[in-house]
Amino acid sequence: MPDATRRERLLRVLKTVTTQQLPADDDESLFESGLLDSFALPDLVSALEKEYSIKVPDRDLNPRKFDSIARIDTYLQDHAG
């Protein structure tokens, strides 16, 4: 479970790339719910890089890493310091 501050920050980023209601369940698939499509995903990765001042390397460009709020948070914990 993301901590509250980090979660709020992540939700703000997600809201910049989708107009849909964010899921209440952090483990819900953002793709299967229709919240992210194949063109919103590159925008999300770019937005995360900007927000967290990180560079997501090409080897990490795996949609599964960004499939839910929980997975994105795990990635950010490991890479955003």
Partner 1 sequence: MRAFLHGFGMHVPERAVTNAEMAARVERTPEWIEGASGIRERRWAAAEISVADLAIAAAHDCLERVDVAASSLGLIIVASGSARPGFPGPAAEVAARLGLESTPAIDVPMASAGSLFGMAMAAQMAAHYGDALVIGAEKMSAVVESAALDPNTAILFGDGAGAALVSVRPGPFEILDAVLHSNGQYRDSLAFDWSTPLRMNGLSVILQAARKLPSSIEEVLARQKIAAADVQMFLLHQANQNLLVRIAKSLGVPAERVYSNVARYGNTSSASMLIAAAEWSQANPTSGPVVFSAFGAGFHWGALLARSV
> Which of the stretches 1-9, 14-22, 38-46, 71-79 binds partner 1 when contact is defined by CB under 8 A?
38-46
Written as six digits, the tokens of 56 are 């997501």
Binds partner 1 by CB under 8 A, chosen from 8, 32, 43, 78 = 43
Q: Are the C-beta atoms of 17 and 47 separated by less than 8 Å?
A: yes
- Please choose, from the candidates 81, 76, 72, the residue with its C-alpha nearest in 3D space to the C-alpha of residue 27: 72
Phi and psi at 6, nearest 5°, equal -65, -40
Judged by CB under 8 A, the residue of 8, 61, 74, 78 near partner 1 is 61
Q: What is the largest CA-CA distance in the chain?
A: 30
Please pick, from the candidates 1, 24, 39, 53, the single residue that binds partner 1 as defined by CB under 8 A: 39
Q: Give the binding site for partner 1 (CB under 8 A).
A: 31, 38-39, 41-43, 45-46, 58, 61-63
